Amino acid sequence: MGKKIKSALRSFTSCSGCQTELLNMKEAFEILTKFNFVFFPLIKGEKELDKYDICFVEGAITNKDQIFELKKIRKKSKLLVAFGTCATYGGIATISDFDDKKEIVEEVYGSGINKHSLKKVFGIGNWINVDYYMRGCPVIKTEVLEFAKGYFKEKLPNEHLYPVCVECRQKGNRCLLAEDHLPCMGAITYGGCKALCTSEEIPCQGCRGPLPTADVSARVKVFEKFGIKKEDIRRTFIKFAGTSKKYRRIIKNLK
């Protein structure tokens, strides 16, 4: 690629864990240099540019000012990437949508602030067109590297359109759902993480979000068959992608 590209990482409501994950990679320096980040909140701020070749967006959209800012970023960016589960589905911040939001906000921030908070928290795709989704809470190193490689070869990697269960079985793990009756979301969640949690005997929490083909109602029935309580099923579904189309309706029925 001849001319040096210009990139930015912009962050909205998040824990900044996805940018931290990138900085923790041993390849971080190479990636930051190749993409020529002019803005990266944890390490580098510069004045706003009129155009970016690529913008990585981290975090959920939780207030009106952020929608305005996000739309501005979209206009400036040739390629826009949702970086992590908060940006893809709203992530952890969506949990507040399923409880008394006012009470939560007051508990955390005290009264009188956050007047512009939206009623529902969504990922960025609810407000703008997104060119590429990089899932995970946080993003996964191998996928960041695959993306970087693909970008400079002008061929972005395909999504992992198979469930976590596939990688879990390939690794020969014990099934935590069938054997321990734990609410594991592996069967309906995007693979690609190499069954990170289930390999440590922790049930998949669904951080990479629902597969388009996931039969969510059938999964709830399986959970119920294994005696998992409705409240525990609900808690699992609202954790990362509760406001996604796939999960919204099912969560209502789990009250």
Whole-Å CA distances, 84 to 60, 73, 116: 10, 17, 24
Q: Please identify which residue in 7, 10, 14, 233 interacts with ligand SF4, judged by CB under 6 A.
A: 14
User: Which residues have CB under 8 Å from 37's CB, separation 6+?
Assistant: 7, 8, 9, 44
Judged by CB, which is closer to ligand SF4: 73, or 137?
137
Give the separation between CA 201 and CA 180, rounded to whole angstroms: 10
Q: Taking the complex as a whole, how short is the minimal distance between the CB of residue 109 and ligand SF4, in angstroms?
A: 18
CB atoms within 10 A of CB 104: 13
Q: Taking the complex as a whole, how short is the minimal distance between the CB of residue 13 and ligand SF4, in angstroms?
A: 8
Q: Taking the complex as a whole, how short is the minimal distance between the CB of residue 137 and ligand SF4, in angstroms?
A: 3
CB 254 within 8 A of CB 233: yes
Query: Which token pair is 113?
Result: 């602030």
Task: Convert residues 136-175 into a mask of x (bound to ligand SF4 by CB under 6 A) and - (unbound).
Answer: -xx-------------------------xx--xx---x-x
Give the separation between CA 28 and CA 233, rounded to whole angstroms: 38
Residues 79-98 binding ligand SF4 (CB under 6 A) are: 84-86, 91-92
Segment interacting with ligand SF4, rule: CB under 6 A, options 27-35, 49-57, 150-158, 206-214 = 206-214
Query: Which token pair is 189?
Result: 């969640």
Asked if 196 touches ligand SF4 (CB under 6 A), the answer is yes
**Sign of the C-alpha dihedral, residues 30, 81, 90, 115?**
positive
Q: Which residues contact ligand SF4 (rule: CB under 6 A)?
A: 14-15, 17-18, 58, 84-86, 91-92, 137-138, 164-165, 168-169, 173, 175-177, 184, 186-187, 189, 193, 195-198, 204-208
